[in-house]
């Protein structure tokens, strides 16, 4: 059985979700799970789709980023599917359709996912290098430490017996910031 999964990051992306649903229906999906969720957060419908799948089924998504944001997450999902004899078909992966039911599809997926992760890592390294350069030139100072500007207030509230959580809530800072200010 072909089972589809479609996701958009926000509820405002209705057109994107509709396009995914059309592509999944055209691919022959008999059941489609859909949701509006950030890739980094809990994805209840993806979890439901993974529970729904049975041996011999195939999970179909339009693009890899609808399924996973990084290589580790993708490989974990693929491993789970393989262990349960469930295939994965990605309709558009760098212009190619990938189907893990074939040896070539498995190889393509591994290579493309590794390249995508490599590019993401390189982008983060360039970003860090740019920040370090800007700091060295005095052009980048980062975000102002909100809690440190309220250190006296934090200490006064702590002296009154308020918990760290209550102090954080009252001043609009994180509990970790309260701990640092009191250290």
Torsion 70-72-73-78 (CA) sign? positive
Active site residue 169: no
Q: Extract the tokens encoding 47.
A: 């979890």
Q: Indicate which residue of 9, 38, 102, 169 is catalytic.
A: 9
Q: Is 173 exposed, middle or buried (0-12, 13-18, 19+ CB in 10 A)?
A: buried
Token digits for 71? 């290589």
Residue 31 parent element (H or E): strand 31-36
Q: Which two tokens stand for residue 80?
A: 């789970």
With tokens 């800072």, the residue in question is: 173
Write down how long the chain is.
183
- Hey, which residues are catalytic here? 9
């Amino acid at each position: 059985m072909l089972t589809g999964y479609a996701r958009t990051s926000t509820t405002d992306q209705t057109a994107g979700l509709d396009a995914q649903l059309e592509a999944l229906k055209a691919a022959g999906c008999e059941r489609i799970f859909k949701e509006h969720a950030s890739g980094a957060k809990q994805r209840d419908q993806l979890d439901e789709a993974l529970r729904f799948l049975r041996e011999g089924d195939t999970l179909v998504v339009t693009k890899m980023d609808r399924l996973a944001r990084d290589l580790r997450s993708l490989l974990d999902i693929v491993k789970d599917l393989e262990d349960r004899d469930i295939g994965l078909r990605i309709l558009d992966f760098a212009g190619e359709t990938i189907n893990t039911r074939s040896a070539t599809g498995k190889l393509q997926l591994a290579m493309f996912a590794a390249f995508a992760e490599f590019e993401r890592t390189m982008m983060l390294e360039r970003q860090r290098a740019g920040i370090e350069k800007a700091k060295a030139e005095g052009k980048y100072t980062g975000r102002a430490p909100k809690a440190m500007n309220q250190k006296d207030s934090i200490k006064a509230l702590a002296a009154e017996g308020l918990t760290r959580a209550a102090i954080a809530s009252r001043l609009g800072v994180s509990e970790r910031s309260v701990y640092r200010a009191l250290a």
